[in-house]
Structure 1
Amino acid sequence: MNKPIIGVIGGSGVYDLDGLENKRWEAIESPFGEPSDEILRGALQGVEMAFLPRHGRGHRLSPSGINYKANIDALKRVGVTDILSVSACGSFEDQLAPGTFVIVDQFIDRTFAREKSFFGNGLVAHVSMAEPVCSRLGDMLEQAAINEDIPVVRGGTYLAMEGPQFSSRAESELYRQWGCQVIGMTNMPEAKLAREAEICYATVAMVTDYDCWHPDHAHVDVATVIEVLIGNSEKARNLVKAVAPKLGKREDSCPQGCDHALDNALITAPEARSADVISKLDAVAGRVL
């Protein structure tokens, strides 16, 4: 197992951490295009960290405009072994009030305008998404949140919508009927690509609003979301600082097999594989190619 390097995908409120040593921004080239931004490298309590602003510094990119493939490829290229995805979300349940953190364990992908796989014509692969989140990371995040007195719920389904508009009331009610707990715009195809890249992945969904289903909170507006986001940012920083030392102690392979997700995924015969496609996958799938 490679030395643990913890990747954090989120906003500026997450990576502006006290105690981050040897800080430097690094531009990482990817064959899949430009990542959202440079990667902030550093060490936190002796643990190597890599922070990637999902929307770019200054929030330049819309959810549909993010190059998810380049982001995950870039993190893989700097050696990231574990990804903590921190993002804002809406809630579908009364008890998941704004300010609550949800450690998601399942996704429903309703996005439609994004490239969702590193693989395709020339090299076909089918990766299991039955368990899209690394339970080891989830366990550590939950315990760290409890230790930091952060309101946290373990488990839940994240509905990924295309955006950038918020839901209609009819959509919001439909997703509640499906049994979803939270809704957001950024964790797909991020989670799928992390799986293909054999990187352990976990989502911390930070509730900012009740979407538009709630009779007492019928409209979602940006001003309200930003106000809650500011409060959530401090909690997110505390969570990252608390969980980093625990993640840095990992020595063995992932017990859930996240780091070997490609073992039985490639289906194209070796002699029929595209050399051009293979050349782009040197980081993502180099272990099996």
Structure 2
Amino acid sequence: MTKTIAVIGGTGLCDWPGAEVLDETAIETEYGAPSSLLQRIRYEGAEFLFLARHGKGHQIPPHAINYRANVAALKKAGVDALVAVNAVGGISERFVTGVIAIPNQINDYTWGREHTFFDGSNGKVEHIDFSYPYSQDLRSRLANAAVDADIAFEDYGVYAVTQGPRLETAAEISRLARDGNDIVGMTAMPEASLAREVGIEYASVALVVNPGAGLSDNIITMEDIQTVIDTGMLQVKSILAHCIAAY
């Protein structure tokens, strides 16, 4: 059975230069409108749906994203598997700037976000198993795609999800390191758990765009981050194209 694949992109992946946009669809959900139009894209021979997590022009900060509307819209569009692209900070030794990771675990430090479809409003409450937040099958497909594309990557990683939009303090990064986190970002939750609630396979490709606060002698600047994104996201897109084309 052919699966419908979607990509949800954030920092550095709001658009796809060189891709053919086949159509765009506005989808309304009971949770409101998603961050952007849902595009059907053809890129390097792969066809998939794409949703810009932060909206067109990167206008929505991480804490204000309507995650429920985004996931509900993808489910309504018939999506079976969702690959999230995340720009993250590096914490542990192997996750230096420029490294691409396919994380396997999550620690959630966010607060105040609408984070579940099972909020009791419809009289239905469920408790999902979230022991392993990422689909192992989809992770394996991404890993195989990276090998096929001859792109180096780390096939693990604990993703710490912080509230944002500010970056973390050096003390916070030290705490995250003690908690066993390898990378830090702001958007994996509640995106991952919402996907699990509606039965969408979910995995991530994360690009390390800066060292965590206090782990280098330099101040973290958006200019430095953008330099890494310009190179790294081309590799991420190649992994995605190889993965989706192989479905």
TM-score range, shorter chain: over 0.9
CA RMSD of aligned residues (A): 1.8
Query: Displacement, 1:123?
Result: 1.3
| Cα separation, 2, equivalents of 1:80 and 1:17 | 23
Displacement of 1:18 after TM fit? 4.2
Q: Which amino acid aligns with 1:83?
A: L
Q: Do the aligned residues in 1 keep the contact of 2:35 with 2:55 (CA within 8 Å)?
A: yes
Distance 1:138 1:6 in 2: 14
Show the counterpart of 2:104: 105
Q: Give the drift of 1:241.
A: 1.2
TM score, norm. by length of structure 2: 0.93
Provide the C-alpha distance between the structure 2 equivalents of 1:227 and 1:68, rounded to a whole number of angstroms: 28
State the match for 1:179 in structure 2: 180
User: Residue in 1 aligned with 2:229?
Assistant: 229
Aligned residue for 2:170? 169
Q: Give the secondary structure class of the aligned counterpart of 1:220.
A: coil
The aligned counterpart of 1:94 is 93
**Per the alignment, do residues 14 and 135 of structure 1 end up closer, same or farther by CA in structure 2, a change over 3 Å counting?**
farther
Cα deviation for residue 227 of structure 1 reads 1.6
Letter in 2 for 1:126: H
Please list, as runs of the form range in 1=range in 2, the aligned pairs for 1:73-92 lying within 5 A after superposition: 73-92=72-91
- Structure 1 residue 109, shift from structure 2 partner: 0.5
How far did residue 43 of structure 1 move?
4.6
Shift in alpha-carbon separation, 1:19–1:58, aligned structure 2, 3 A: closer
**Between Structure 1 and Structure 2, whose CA radius of gyration is higher?**
1
1:24 Cα offset (Å)? 1.1
1:14 and 1:243 map into 2 onto residues whose CA distance is 19
Cα 1:101–1:239, aligned 2, differ >3 Å: closer, same or farther?
same
Once the 2 structures are TM-superposed, how far is the Cα of residue 44 of structure 1 from its aligned partner?
A: 5.4
Specify the code of the residue in structure 2 equivalent to 1:101.
I
Residues 203 and 168 (structure 1 numbering): CA distance in 2 closer, same or farther, change over 3 Å?
A: same
Unaligned runs of 5+ in 1: 249-289
What amino acid is the match of 2:176? Y
Please name the residue that 1:160 is paired with: 161
1:29-60 Cα offsets, whole Å, 9 max, x none, are: 11101100000014557764110000011001
Counterparts of residues 101-140 of structure 1 (less than 5 Å): 101-121=100-120, 122-140=123-141
Query: 2:203 corresponds to which residue?
Result: 202
- Please give the alpha-carbon distance, in whole angstroms, between the structure 2 residues aligned to 1:17 and 1:141: 22
Deviation at 1:220?
1.9
1: CA distance, partners of 2:9 / 2:93: 25
Q: Which residue of 2 aligns with 1:281?
A: none
| 8 Å contact from structure 2 (residues 83, 205) kept in 1 | yes
User: Identical aligned pairs, as a percentage?
Assistant: 33
Deviates more, 1:134-143 or 1:3-12: 3-12
Quick one: distance in 2 between partners of 1:29 and 1:47? 26
For residues 178 and 118 of structure 2, the distance between their equivalents in structure 1, rounded to whole angstroms, comes to 33
Q: Structure 1 98/149 Cα, relative in aligned 2: closer, same or farther at 3 Å? A: farther
Q: Per-residue deviation at 1:149? A: 2.8
Greater CA drift, 59-68 or 144-153: 144-153
Q: How does 1:1-289 map to 2 (within 5 A)?
A: 3-11=2-10, 13=13, 15-16=15-16, 18=18, 20=20, 23-43=22-42, 48-121=47-120, 122-217=123-218, 219-246=219-246, 248=247
Q: Does structure 2 retain, via aligned residues, the 8 Å contact 1:113–1:162?
A: no
Asked if the contact 2:14/2:58 (under 8 Å) is kept, the reply is no
CA 1:14–1:140 in 2, change beyond 3 Å: closer, same or farther? farther
Give SS of 2:27's match: coil
SS at match of 1:9: strand
Alignment gaps of 5+ in structure 2? none
